[in-house]
Amino acid sequence: MQRIKIKMQMSDVFFRILAAFMTLLILFPFLWLLLSSVKTNAEYYVQPSPFFPSDPQWDRYKYVFIDLAFYKYMINSIFLAAVVVVLNVTSSSFVAYGMARFQFKGKSIVFTVMLMTMFLPSQVSFIPQFLIFDKLEWVNTYLPIVVPHLFGAAANILLVSQFIKAIPKEMDEAAMMDGCNSFSIWLRIILPQSVAVLIVVAISAFLGSWKDSMSPLIYLRDANLYTVPVALMYFQAPDQNSYLLLLTGVVISIIPTLIVYVCLQKWMDKGIFIADLK
Amino acid sequence: MKKSGLARKARIGWVFVSPWIIGFLLLTLIPLLVSLYMAFHEWDMFSDPVFVGLKNFKRLLDTSTIEGQTFFAALSNTLIYTFFTAIINIVVGIAIAWAVARSSVINTIMRSVIYLPCMLIGIAFSMMMGPIFGSSDYAFVNQILHMLGLPPQEWLFTHGQGVWVMVFMSFWGIGGAMIVFIAGIKTVDSAVYDAASIDGASNFKLLTRICVPIISPVIIYQTIMSIIFGMQVFDIAVGLSSAGGTGSGFGMGIDNSLATLVFYLYNKGFRDFEMGMASAIGWLIFLLTSIVSVGLFAFVRKTGYFKVD
């Protein structure tokens, strides 16, 4: 009995140490990035580089944020993500209602194709999509990035339709008695009833758009339209510190993520991000 | 009367589903076919497309051409990355999930930290790793090597090494898998664990003998997702290849050290404007991933996780 107890503690300790080690490992680059971003050139480009900067260059943050227009890229990114969220949530919920509440021929084919698109690489269609958007003269606008979200996203549709199925049908029927048509049932009953799952969809759409680098890299040419990833990619500073200024830009790009993250802690902790498992 | 009501309902159903179908046709199916057409042509977007038959594919699959060498370098990097990232995600992901699944303040903090890198912009994430793994003599790892009296390494510029930096970076990306596994672990009735631990099972045995078999569908799902996302790796490679990530700022590292399939497609299409070649690469990615996905997809359907009704 004694031996068993010790064994239990041993493996418990192993997992504790593993988790603590992983946490520190993951934190380290953040810390090193932050410290590097405020080191002077002389302190960064030296071996060995001191761990803590002796004269932190905090004014770099103001320079990158204001003078190098990172505030603008951030506004662009957030604006784009907000539009994507609205379009994606609305269209996904709209289609999900059709999938959840109506029986029609070919529904199972639609379902299967939807499921398949989740597993297929989208890159194969990037070149033709570019040609289409180029013909429409949409290159160098936000349209090629936001318009695809008008049509709903398969994963979100499937997730929301699972949720809608759990809403009692009696609510629809009662509304229909009151003279509501299908569209107003969706708008007045289904949308408000599925807020919980729509928040999940909204979060994932927001993050997807905020993190997306490929479409903005392909479509945005004008620096005024740049989103944060593009701005980092094409970062230029008229300064010999440019690398350390870039690191400052990277830190700045992380800050909104942190804010969103802290605000959404409640949702995260419920593991709700992966509700699509069920 | 009833029948026409049903038909009417079916029509309304189609109306609701139509946005997705239109989107599928316009943004997936038609582009897929156009891309197939393009793959057999040479086109720089300025002159007219020229039909070249299988030439694009032949060049990509012939290692005596530059395209072939690059393609196979990208393929090998992508496969190495996909394979090891999937393993890291599953093995480390489960272990970490097991370690922090129980609700407590410290576990919540650790979970949040571990998930944090998953929220970053891919390019920012790899640029964050620049001062650690970068090829500059002043990056952290090279500083350590210097202290140990070893020569600095040009990780990202050496063929066959850049991809291992990408693989290693997967340890920072296990948060997504962790969250999925925590959810899986929590679906198991705690009485099952209690019973086993009263019988003297160690924490490790609880994980490997009880938890893992029960959550195996979740593990399968996560494996599929890791493979599919791994095959499409793009932004961390781009971030590492940029001037900011490493100080190189051209192409896909040196000697294709950071080449991945999607990165190669992006370069051919949107830097060189060789649309035919890029489409051919796209189709090779598509075929390769489809073979893997369709197999896995059939498997997932069998597990019954997704149902029409």
Calpha distance B32→B27 (Å, rounded): 8
In angstroms, the separation between the Cα of residue B77 and the nearest Cα of chain A is 17
Mutate to test the interface with A, among B2, B9, B27 (most CBs of A within 10 A): B27
Calpha distance B162→B129 (Å, rounded): 12
Of A55-59, A83-87, A164-168, B197-201, give the lowest mean pLDDT range.
B197-201
In angstroms, the separation between the Cα of residue A177 and the nearest Cα of chain B is 15
How confident is the model at residue B297, as a pLDDT? 67
Tell me whether residues B9 and A235 touch, CB distance under 8 A.
no
Pick from A8, A19, A97: CB nearest B16: A97
Calpha distance B238→B261 (Å, rounded): 12
Tell me whether residues B228 and A121 touch, CB distance under 8 A.
yes
B262, closest residue in chain A (CA to CA)? A123
Tell me whether residues A154 and B308 touch, CB distance under 8 A.
no
Question: What is the identity of the amino acid at A184?
Answer: S
- Work out the average pLDDT over B85-95: 95
pLDDT tens digit string along A130-143?
A: 999 999 999 999 99
- HSE on the CB side for B147, CA within 13 Å? 12
Instruction: Indicate the helix (H) or strand (E) that contains A261.
Output: helix A242-263
Pick from B19, B38, B293: CB nearest A91: B19
Pick from A15, A49, A116: CB nearest B297: A116
Question: What is the identity of the amino acid at A193?
Answer: Q
User: Which tops the pLDDT comparison, A227 or B187?
Assistant: A227
Pick from B27, B98, B296: CB nearest A129: B27
- Work out the average pLDDT over A241-255: 90
User: Residues 128..167 of A with a Cβ closer than 8 Å to B: which?
Assistant: 128-132, 134, 148, 150-152, 154, 157-158, 165
How confident is the model at residue B60, as a pLDDT? 93
Residue with tokens 């001037």: B243
- Work out the average pLDDT over A90-103: 95
Judge whether A42 is closer than 8 Å to chain B, CB to CB: no
Question: Using a CB-CB distance cutoff of 8 angstroms, which residues of chain A are in contact with residue B140?
Answer: 32
In angstroms, the separation between the Cα of residue B45 and the nearest Cα of chain A is 9
Question: Using a CB-CB distance cutoff of 8 angstroms, which residues of chain B are in contact with residue A273?
Answer: 179
**Confidence label for A270 from pLDDT (cuts 50, 70 and 90):** low
Q: Using an 8 Å Cβ cutoff, are B40 and B52 in contact?
A: yes
Q: Using an 8 Å Cβ cutoff, are A133 and A139 in contact?
A: yes
Question: What's the complex ipTM?
Answer: 0.87
How confident is the model at residue A278, as a pLDDT? 33
How confident is the model at residue B299, as a pLDDT? 72
Pick from A27, A124, A254: CB nearest B286: A124
Q: Count of CB contacts below 8 A, A vs B? A: 305
Pick from A32, A151, A277: CB nearest B22: A151
Mutate to test the interface with B, among A40, A125, A165, A245 (most CBs of B within 10 A): A125
- HSE on the CB side for A188, CA within 13 Å? 14
Instruction: Indicate the helix (H) or strand (E) that contains B32.
Output: helix B30-39
- CATH tag, A68-234: 1.10.3720.10
- Six-digit token string for A92: 């996904």
| Residue B2: pLDDT over 60 | no
Tell me whether residues A102 and B117 touch, CB distance under 8 A.
no
User: Residues 50..89 of A with a Cβ closer than 8 Å to B: which?
Assistant: none
Question: Using a CB-CB distance cutoff of 8 angstroms, which residues of chain A are in contact with residue B225?
Answer: none
| Residue A87: pLDDT over 90 | yes
Q: Using an 8 Å Cβ cutoff, are B250 and B157 in contact?
A: no
| Residue A199: pLDDT over 50 | yes
Domain residue spans of chain A:
2-44, 68-234
Q: At what angle do helices B216-231 and B275-303 cross, to 10 degrees?
A: 180
Of A134-138, B18-22, B142-146, B248-252, give the lowest mean pLDDT range.
B248-252
| Residue A110: pLDDT over 70 | yes
Pick from B99, B132, B203: CB nearest A19: B99
Tell me whether residues B179 and A7 touch, CB distance under 8 A.
no
| Residue B42: pLDDT over 80 | yes
pLDDT tens digit string along A55-82?
A: 898 999 999 999 999 999 999 999 999 9
How confident is the model at residue A5, as a pLDDT? 53
Structural domains in chain B, CATH included, are: 67-303 (1.10.3720.10)
Tell me whether residues A211 and B122 touch, CB distance under 8 A.
yes
Judge whether A121 is closer than 8 Å to chain B, CB to CB: yes
Q: By C-alpha distance, which of B245, B233, B235 is closest to B132?
A: B245
Tell me whether residues A44 and B34 touch, CB distance under 8 A.
no
How confident is the model at residue A272, as a pLDDT? 47
Of A120-124, A242-246, B304-308, give the lowest mean pLDDT range.
B304-308
**Confidence label for A276 from pLDDT (cuts 50, 70 and 90):** very low
Pick from A23, A123, A253: CB nearest B232: A123
Question: Using a CB-CB distance cutoff of 8 angstroms, which residues of chain A are in contact with residue B148?
Answer: none
pLDDT tens digit string along B224-260?
A: 888 888 999 998 998 888 755 554 455 787 788 889 9
| Average pLDDT of chain A to the nearest whole number | 88
E strand intervals along chain B: 41-42, 50-51
Tell me whether residues A8 and B203 touch, CB distance under 8 A.
yes
How confident is the model at residue B40, as a pLDDT? 96
Tell me whether residues B16 and A94 touch, CB distance under 8 A.
yes
Tell me whether residues A246 and B171 touch, CB distance under 8 A.
no
Tell me whether residues A229 and B108 touch, CB distance under 8 A.
no
Calpha distance A169→B9 (Å, rounded): 15
| Residue A267: pLDDT over 60 | yes
pLDDT tens digit string along A113-132?
A: 998 888 778 888 889 999 99
**Confidence label for A222 from pLDDT (cuts 50, 70 and 90):** very high
Of A73-77, A260-264, A269-273, B123-127, give the lowest mean pLDDT range.
A269-273
Tell me whether residues B9 and A102 touch, CB distance under 8 A.
yes
How confident is the model at residue B300, as a pLDDT? 67
E strand intervals along chain A: none
User: Which tops the pLDDT comparison, A41 or B56?
Assistant: B56
Question: Using a CB-CB distance cutoff of 8 angstroms, which residues of chain B are in contact with residue A115?
Answer: 297, 306
Tell me whether residues B114 and A11 touch, CB distance under 8 A.
no
Pick from A8, A157, A217: CB nearest B20: A157
How confident is the model at residue B305, as a pLDDT? 53
How confident is the model at residue A7, as a pLDDT? 55
pLDDT tens digit string along B149-171?
A: 888 888 888 888 889 999 999 99
